[in-house]
Amino acid sequence: MATLATTVPKKVALIISSTRAIRAGPEVVSFIHKMLLTLPATPKPEISILDVASFNLPVFNEKIMPAMVPAHGNFEYEHSKKWSAAIAAFDGYIIVSPEYNFGLPGGVKNAVDYLYNEWIGKPVLIVTYGITGGNASSESLQKTLAGMKLRVVETRPQLSYAGPGMGDMLAAAGTGKLGQNTLELWGKEGKEPLLKGFGELVELLETPVPEPAKSG
């Protein structure tokens, strides 16, 4: 009797990239996770939350260049090996980043720069948050990840803290808790771009990486 083939769902890492001691990142990612679970995607990928802070990555300290691993050598330190193994296990990524001083936080860039071959060719959705939605952070991540040969989703949701002023942002930075006004704002205005971007990510997950064009 013939058996029906089962399709193994793709695996997506939803990454908390903020590494501050007190941070809103985990609450932001929790909000995003709950929102994405409402999307009736088919086939629906498995989403796992990954926290950069838990890997305790120092400023890059390996002797070998990430692009040379594993073809020409291996990482020396355990933190690098664990981060590499964690990222390599996924088919795609959702990187959630704050914005500091009109730019990409150093800890986020450092985590990205630790690896190369683990990332390349895989799809990634960029989600940022901040007083103006993290636009500069989003632009910087897009340029970096596209340059590293990831397939960056066209839609890049940007979640702005509720006004007026910086009240909700400062409260979130100081307590790690999102204000109710911000959660309500994101629930109204953030849902559509989040679900749109996630839908594009799901589509890319099911699209094979194009073969490089042959010359001659």
For residue 12, is pLDDT > 90? yes
**pLDDT for the residue 5:** 47
Location of structure tokens 């769902």: 9
For residue 200, is pLDDT > 80? yes
pLDDT one-digit tens code per residue, 128-186: 999 889 999 999 999 999 999 999 999 999 999 987 767 788 888 888 899 999 999 99
How confident is the model over 21-33, as a mean pLDDT?
95
How confident is the model over 86-90, as a mean pLDDT?
98
Q: Which residue range is the domain that position 71 belongs to? A: 11-205
- Distance from C-alpha of 169 to C-alpha of 157, rounded to nearest angstrom: 18
Number of domains into which the chain is organized: 1
Question: What rounded mean pLDDT belongs to the chain?
Answer: 91
Angle (CA) 201-204-210 rounded to 5° is 150
How confident is the model over 178-198, as a mean pLDDT?
92
Location of structure tokens 């964690």: 86
27 located within any domain: yes
191 located within any domain: yes
- Distance from C-alpha of 93 to C-alpha of 112, rounded to nearest angstrom: 12
210 located within any domain: no
| Residue 20: both structure tokens together | 């501050």
Q: How confident is the model at residue 41 (pLDDT cuts 50, 70, 90)?
A: low
**pLDDT for the residue 129:** 96
**pLDDT for the residue 13:** 98
pTM: 0.92
CATH assignment at residue 111: 3.40.50.360
4 located within any domain: no
The answer for residues whose C-beta is within 8 angstroms of residue 138's C-beta and 6 or more apart is 97, 99, 126, 128, 156, 158
2 located within any domain: no
For residue 215, is pLDDT > 50? no
Is 3 or 84 the better-scoring residue by pLDDT?
84
For residue 117, is pLDDT > 70? yes
How confident is the model over 22-34, as a mean pLDDT?
95
6 located within any domain: no
176 located within any domain: yes
